[in-house]
Structure 1
Amino acid sequence: MLDRATLSLYRRLLRYILPYKKLIAVTLLALIFIAMMEPATAWILKELVDESLIAKNPDSFVMMPILLAGVFIVKGIAEYFSKVFSQWIAQSAILDIRSEMYRKMQSLPYSDFQAYSTGKLMSKITYDVPQASNALSTAWVIIIRDSLTVTALVAYLLYISWQLTLLMLLIGPVVAFIINKASKLMRNSSRNMQADMGQMTHQLEEGLNAYQDIKIYGAENYEQNRFQNTAKSLLTNTLNVTKVSALNVPLVQVLAAIALAIVVYIAMQMSAKDMFTPGELLSFITAMALTFEPIRRLTNINETVQKGMAAAESIFSLLDLPDEENCGELKPKAIKGEIIFKDMQFTYPNADKATFDHLNLHIAAGKTTALVGQSGSGKSTLVHLIARFYQPQNGTILLDGSPLKDIELDFLRQQMAFVSQKVVLFNDTIATNIAYGQSGISEEQIITAAKKAHAWEFIEKLPDGLNTNIGDKGELLSGGQRQRIAIARAFLKDAPILIMDEATSALDNQSEKMIQEAMETLRQDRTVIIIAHRLSTIENADQIVVLEHGQVVEQGDHQALISANGLYASLYQKGEQIGANV
């Protein structure tokens, strides 16, 4: 059941309960008392028969019932403390594991984060952690308690008759072989269960988020079949674990029953020859019978352990990923916002072709630079490189003359604000969403930012004002209102570098006008980088950079590029709106 690899994995999991040593000590003490009470019960039955029923010892008439009641009282108290404290320890450890996993998710490199679907990450916390928790609560208590119980009972059996006990123990190697085979089968199926659960959670998330698209395109049956196939695979692997576990337990019990029958037969023969007192015979048979239940639980717990170990493998595969590299130490006192790309090369992981090959670009401080290009030209990638979500393989990116990689990462991102057309809002109050990520912000500062973003005019009309909860992803607000909350957030941060993923293409005229006015105010006195979708909205940019296949093909202001009659002029004259960005 617990081979070397499993033991190593389990020891690592048990490290999460080590901070609770005092509670562990109390739990172990309770488990020792529980184990001691089992042979004590068999011994009391021996004395009850030999001393009370046969020898008619008057002292035993009172003492034996008291001892019997005392055994069950002690056992009951010990079981209470062992269950309560073991769960307390386990749930505390689960909290620590979930916190560590969430921290890891937040600190992953962007490329590693993108390698996981949201559903699979959610599955690790919502499904894998509870599976591992059973190995931290139920499993270790049963393993320790029942191992101690079986050991205590075997010791008592050896005391009564070591010959019969050794005969009984002959089935041990056979039982160990069966459990070992079952462990391997259950571990493989449990791993597949983790993968199926992650895939099902991912498909569930997609289905809920794409509800309208599924309806419009009539894809209900396709999505239902896709979900059903994953659910069937999960069912198959779950049943595989159940079948192995269901066969494992009765097989061990049958072997134990055969051994018990043989031992009972021999014991009765010995009793007939006065080699056993009646009390010793009953006590021996009782002690043997009492080993059945702990052995059954130990065999049955194998399923819980293997599921827990498969879950632990999944958890540790995430926790073992390296954190986002933060090798920089520079924290310049004042950031102007000049950004220079020098001979920069970048290729996405596993990509066949470089996104940028020897790119050179100058983004002036305090000016507005618009990035223009077809889908796949590298606009969004350029922004990701500036924010250090990715690192270039070769070349240099400079911020105010300092290599970007030498600047402390958190400090670097504090110098940036981001306004996207895909607004990210949280299921919280308007005030919290505007002041997101910042502490010590007064209500007056939030109101000022909201006014600059033309958001205050609708916020003050709400019954709870800034304390209004905006629902999941801000869906209780209109598209224009969500955009203005995002702009207010950028106003409040007041960062020297502003990145804007043009945010007005899907809005009505009134909302667009308000947001354009707010964005024009926001752009003042800072370095602004605009990912341009509609070319008509960037005519006033100080610099327009036209990208194609990762290269700068044109650069200049609007008038100069129109006069050059190149790619920008062609796109502008067509009134083309640039779509998705890479």
Structure 2
Amino acid sequence: MSEKVAGKTYDVQLLRRILVYMRPYRGIFVWSVILTLVMAAIAPLLPVLVEHTLDNYILQADYQGLSKMALLMLGLLLFQTIVRYFHTLLTNTLGQSVIRDLRSNVFKHILQLRLKYFDRTPLGRLITRTVSDLETISDIFSQGLIQIIGDILQLAVILGVMFYTDWRLTLIVLIPMPVMLVATYYFKEAMKASFQDVRTWVSRLNTFLQEHISGVAIIQYFGREKQEFDKFIPINAEHRNAHIRANWYFSIFFPVIEIIMAIALGLLVWYGSKSVLNETTSLGVVVAFIMYINMIFRPVRELIDKFNTLQMGMVGAERVFSVLDTDEKTENKGTLQPKNIEGKIEFSNVWFAYDEEKWVLKDISFTLEPGQTLALVGATGAGKSSVINILSRFYEINKGSIKVDGVDIREYELNYLHKSIATVHQDVFLFSDTVENNINLLDPSISREQIIEAAESIGADKFINRLPNGFDYQVQERGATLSSGQSQMVSFIRALVHQPKILVLDEATSSVDTETEELIQQAIEKLMENRSAIVIAHRLSTIQKADKIIVLDQGEIKEIGNHQELLKKDGYYKRLYDLQFNSLGI
């Protein structure tokens, strides 16, 4: 995904996509528009009342009429305040409601994307899309689109009243307007590029922070604090510079507008004073026009700010929709959900590559009968983890076929397939939640009793019961308050309670001590009965009882057989075995 996305202030198609999310809130939108029309209609009333009061009551010394007009103006101001309050409330409610729904869709879409997408997309960029970029879309409703419509209507109504009252004074006031429009155009174009830079550097800053805060332990282990901080300085500086450039344009534009307003006011006072002295207009009209100047220049000035808000919202929307338009979801055309899976696994001439032409698996073929255990061994990068990734359809194979119980895995409903295969990884991920919720993953069909029984079966209940609150202990992010062995055992219980038909252990015992490993091995032997299992292990002692062992090297199968058969072949497996056990002094 490209870091830069060209924003278009007037992209109608993009705006239509945003407005689709507004449909459930038509009522709020309609009332927002009605209140916008009301505010535009009543905007010129106060200057009209001031004009009438000055000409007919103050200059005539009519104190009784003056009191009535003062109360009328007070009532008008109160009414304007109430209308503006509800208008602000409704537009913000509309914006946040749209963002809530859109954010839900974005997060749901992200959860369904293939792992291949996350291999090349920084998480910080996705966080930016889901949080800050979406907030800019909210501003389209609360500070952008509806507000722009309101300001344009208000401007039209006020200009209409001004021309109706005195067309000569109106033309005098509008003399500097072309200069203002030219300045506005160049300001808008400059801000378009400026806002793009701001969003780009916000994304890069979030990506850097997410990555380095997640890896802070590695940074500290290797004493890289200064070097990584030095990398942060230029990113932070560019982020600052992007904001300064945006504010610099504002610092030029608004004083220019103030000067133009002052010129318009000076022309009005000059021409209006002559008109009053010549008795071709009244003092009240001149005073009203002084109020009108602020009322027509303020919306024009704020229109630019709101157009920039709309521009920023469009930039954010284009970035967000670029995620939603990512067509990298795993195809879920399968519908098969049998009541039971026996667990027969067949790989037939399977070729697989994460990147085209860089084959990770080459012509892999094997069969695992129901209830059997298959062990995969080989050097790092041999393709062991890739076998289980494609079995669960986290990645799609390039050639060949994979079948479970004689049926191509693409025929199975995807969620059903995932629930039928439980995987325990070497790198355990635990959520910031209780031990129980990390095990059942909020599945209401899994009871506390089932969790306790599974924990007891591998001896994990002892350490869990020693934790404060036991199964209700609040695990910190990524299991930081548990040892690696404890985290591994929690993930093992998680796999067991979901009752999978196929169990996958990806280096599942590599992070535990020998005593804990022995406990897990005892549980594995019992729980693998009548269940197909695929085990990846560097410790060959953990797989000696496997029904079938496959030796992989650079994505190819070099040997297949059980432990004794492979030792007799005196090949790859024998060399790995001798190397490992000789290093242990056995």
Partner of 2:348: 342
- Distance in 2 (alpha carbons) for counterparts of 1:538 and 1:435: 28
**Among candidates 413, 417, 422, match of residue 412 of structure 1:** 417
* Percent identity of equivalent pairs: 31
Question: Which residue does 1:104 correspond to in 2?
Answer: 109
Q: Does 1:72 align with 2:77?
A: yes
Corresponding residue SS for 2:153: helix
Equivalent in 319, 325, 335 of residue 320 of structure 1 = 325
* Deviation of the 1:459 alpha carbon: 2.4
**1:390-405 map, 5 Å:** 390-405=395-410
Which position in structure 1 is the counterpart of 2:471? Answer: 466
2:294 aligned with 1:289: yes
The aligned counterpart of 2:239 is 234
Q: What's the offset of the Cα at 1:386?
A: 0.5
| Residues 370 and 543 in structure 1, CA contact (< 8 A), matched pair in contact too | yes
What's the RMSD between the two structures over aligned residues?
2.4
2:125 matches 1:120: yes
> Is the 2:488–2:511 contact (alpha carbons within 8 Å) kept by the matching residues of 1?
no
Answer whether contact 2:508 2:537 (CA < 8 A) is retained: no
Residue 219 (structure 1) shift: 0.9
CA distance in 2, matches of 1:211, 1:172: 56
Give the direction of change, closer, same or farther, for the CA distance of 1:197–1:363 in structure 2 (3 Å limit). farther
Per-residue CA deviation, residues 477-535 of structure 1 (Å, 9 max, x unaligned), is 22222222111111111111111112222322222222222222232211111122222
Residues 1:506 and 2:511 aligned together = yes
Q: How does 1:412-431 map to 2 (within 5 A)?
A: 412-431=417-436
Letter in 2 for 1:391: E
- 1:224 aligns to 2:235 (yes or no): no
Q: Does 1:152 align with 2:157?
A: yes
Using the alignment, how far apart are the partners of 1:365 and 1:78 within structure 2?
Answer: 71
Q: Which residue is 2:3 aligned to?
A: none
Q: TM-score, normalised by structure 2?
A: 0.92
Could you tell me how far apart the structure 1 residues matched to 2:326 and 2:171 are?
50
CA separation of 1:299/1:194 partners in 2, compared to 1, >3 Å: closer, same or farther?
A: closer
Q: Is 2:256 the counterpart of 1:245?
A: no
CA distance in structure 1 between the aligned counterparts of 2:480 and 2:173, rounded to whole angstroms: 68
Question: Equivalences for 1:450-465 in 2 at 5 Å?
Answer: 450-465=455-470
> 1:175-574 residue pairs with structure 2 within 5 A?
175-322=180-327, 323-349=329-355, 351-574=356-579
Once residues 261 and 581 of structure 2 are traced to their aligned partners in structure 1, the CA distance between those partners, rounded to angstroms, is: 80
The alpha-carbon distance between structure 1 residues 14 and 355, as it changes in their structure 2 partners (threshold 3 A), is same
Offset at residue 176 of structure 1 (A):
4.1
Residue 23 (structure 1) shift: 2.0
Where does residue 53 of structure 2 map in the other structure? Answer: 48
> Which letter maps to 1:453?
I
Question: Which deviates more, 227-236 or 164-173?
Answer: 164-173
Alpha-carbon deviation of 1:576?
8.2
Deviation, 1:224, is 0.1
What residue number does 2:4 align with? none
Matched position secondary structure for 1:135: helix
Distance 1:215 1:175, change over 3 A: same
User: Offset at 1:543?
Assistant: 0.9
Q: Secondary structure at the match of 1:356?
A: strand
> Using a 3 Å threshold, how does the CA distance of structure 1 residues 260 and 19 change in structure 2: closer, same or farther?
farther
Output the amino acid matched with 2:260.
Answer: L
How much does 1:42 deviate?
0.7
Give the whole-Å Cα distance in 2 for the aligned partners of 1:339 and 1:240.
60
Aligned amino acid, residue 375 of structure 1: T
> What is the alpha-carbon distance in structure 2 between the residues aligned to residue 294 and residue 4 of structure 1?
18
Contact 2:382–2:554 (Cα < 8 Å) also in 1: yes
Do the aligned residues in 2 keep the contact of 1:157 with 1:288 (CA within 8 Å)? no
Counterpart secondary structure, 1:397: strand
Q: Output one character per residue of 1:145-180: Cα deviation in whole Å (capped at 9) or x when no partner.
A: 322322221111111123443454465555444334
Q: Residue 88 of structure 1: CA displacement?
A: 1.7
In the aligned structure 2, how far is the partner of 1:253 from the partner of 1:561? 87
Mapped to 2, the partners of 1:376 and 1:508 lie a distance apart of: 24
- Quick check: 2:377–2:552 contact (8 Å CA) kept in 1? yes
The separation in 2 between residues aligned to 1:295 and 1:451, in whole angstroms, is 72
Moved more, 209-218 or 520-529: 209-218
Secondary structure at the aligned position of 2:374 is classed as strand
Alpha-carbon distance in structure 1 between the residues aligned to 2:510 and 2:312: 49
Task: Give the match's secondary structure for 2:382.
Answer: coil
User: TM-score, normalized by length of structure 1?
Assistant: 0.93
Name the residue aligned to 2:139.
134
CA shift in 2, pair 1:253/1:7, >3 Å: farther
Larger deviation: 452-461 or 387-396? 452-461
Letter in 1 for 2:267: I
Q: Which residue of structure 1 lines up, in the alignment, with residue 97 of structure 2?
A: 92
CA contact (8 A) 2:452 2:461 kept: yes
Q: Render the CA deviation track for 1:41-66: whole Å, top value 9, x for unaligned.
A: 11011101111123455663233112
2:367 corresponds to which letter in structure 1?
H
Looking at structure 2, the residues matched to 171 and 559 of structure 1 have their Cα atoms a distance apart, in angstroms, of: 95
Query: What is the alpha-carbon distance in structure 1 between the residues aligned to residue 577 and residue 107 of structure 2?
Result: 45
2:338 and 2:571 map into 1 onto residues whose CA distance is 40
Residues 351 and 363 in structure 2, CA contact (< 8 A), matched pair in contact too: yes
Unaligned residue ranges in structure 2 (runs of 5+): 1-6
Change (3 A) 1:574 1:127: same
Task: Say if 1:378 and 1:549, in contact at 8 Å, map to a contact too.
Answer: yes
Task: Provide the C-alpha distance between the structure 2 equivalents of 1:370 and 1:21, rounded to a whole number of angstroms.
Answer: 59
Residues 320-352 of structure 1 show CA distances to partners (whole Å, capped at 9, x for unaligned) of 213331111222332112222222222223x44
Q: Would the alpha carbon gap of residues 181 and 115 (structure 1) be closer, same or farther in structure 2, given more than 3 Å must change? A: farther
Query: What amino acid does structure 2 have at the position aligned with 1:329?
Result: T
Corresponding residue of 1:580: none
Deviations 1:192-231 (A, max 9, x none): 3333222222222232232232223221111101111211
Deviation at 1:134, TM superposition (A): 2.3
Provide the secondary structure at the position in 1 that maps to 2:364.
strand
State the alpha-carbon separation in 2 of the partners of residues 352 and 289 from structure 1. 67
SS, match of residue 343 in structure 1:
strand
Structure 1 residues 530 and 166, CA gap change in structure 2 (3 angstroms): farther
Could you tell me how far apart the structure 1 residues matched to 2:253 and 2:212 are? Answer: 39
CA distance in 2 between counterparts of 1:261 and 1:362 reads 91
CA 1:463/1:224 → structure 2, altered by over 3 Å: closer, same or farther?
closer
Would the aligned equivalents of 1:109 and 1:325 in 2 still touch at CA under 8 Å?
A: no
Q: Does the 8 Å CA contact 1:371/1:529 hold for their aligned counterparts? A: yes
- Point out the more displaced range, 428-437 or 454-463: 454-463
Cα distance in 2, alignment partners of residues 242 and 413 from structure 1: 51
**Number of residue pairs aligned between Structure 1 and Structure 2:** 576
